[in-house]
Structure 1
Amino acid sequence: MAHLATCVDSRPHVAPVWFAYDTGNEVIEVLTTGRKLANIRENPRVALSVQKDIDGQAQWRVTMLGTATVVDDDEATRKSAQRINQRYGAEGTAWPENDLVRISVGTATVKEY
């Protein structure tokens, strides 16, 4: 799981999201709806943070800054939704109301503990 930070009224809005790395397009893909999606449409600058824990102990984290694009392609959204949902143990067709967002990473910071 990752935490996606968007901006609303010049203030950060952070929420957990499921994600996957799309090697073909070299972007991070997330599925979202609601406030996060509205924020991205208004301001595409985002941050994404991913942390790996083992037994409650942080092993590493990656913090990325990038630009988000809402993908208006039903087939691409369906394929990505299947991949992302199955990665987290959900049915591939779960949450069909979500939209696909692709994040082009500008910078990334890695920290190992």
Structure 2
Amino acid sequence: MAPIPAEAERLLESETLIAHLATSVDDRPHVAPVWYRYEDGVVELVTTGRKLANVRENPRVALSIQKDDDGDARWMVALRGTATIVEDADEIGVATGKINEKYGADPDAYPQNTLVRIDVGSANYQTY
């Protein structure tokens, strides 16, 4: 199980928020917004382009999620871990469907994306 407090896990599983994925290649950071799904210490996201290329080069990543109300922060979770690229079409389809469902998108949208799983190694959690 990930080193994440139960309350933080509950928030990550239930909230429909945008996460910011931080990757690095050639010692330069790259941060981009992503849809995600969290369950049992693992983050799943489906992506393509620069983010995916960066993960291929360096699987060490971070994810930052924050809940706010009209600009007032309520809680934040910062996750750090190791990403694994999953190229199996069936697994990509299942993950894409679950993520799209969470965000209210067509379950079959974005079929060109690739599944990235992040095994969480450490986390920071704070409420405000």
TM class by shorter chain equals: over 0.9
Q: Does 1:3 align with 2:23?
A: no
More helix by share: 2
Give structure 2 stretches of 5+ with no counterpart: 1-17
1:15-64 deviations in whole A, cap 9, x for unaligned? 000000133xx410011100000000010000000111123211000001
Q: Across the two proteins, how many residue pairs are aligned to each other?
A: 111
Please identify which structure carries the higher strand content: 1
Distance 1:22 1:73, change over 3 A: farther
- Give the SS at the match of 2:106: coil
Q: Normalized against structure 2, the TM-score is what?
A: 0.83
Equivalent-residue separation in structure 1 for 2:79 and 2:38 (angstroms)? 13
For residues 19 and 123 of structure 2, the distance between their equivalents in structure 1, rounded to whole angstroms, comes to 14
Gapped regions of structure 1 (runs ≥ 5): none
Q: Percent identity?
A: 59
Q: Partner of 2:3 in structure 1?
A: none
How well do the aligned residues superpose, as a CA RMSD in angstroms? Answer: 0.9
> After TM superposition, which residue ranges in structure 1, 4 or more long, deviate above 3 angstroms?
none
Of the structure 1 ranges 52-61 and 98-107, higher mean CA displacement relative to structure 2 is found in 52-61
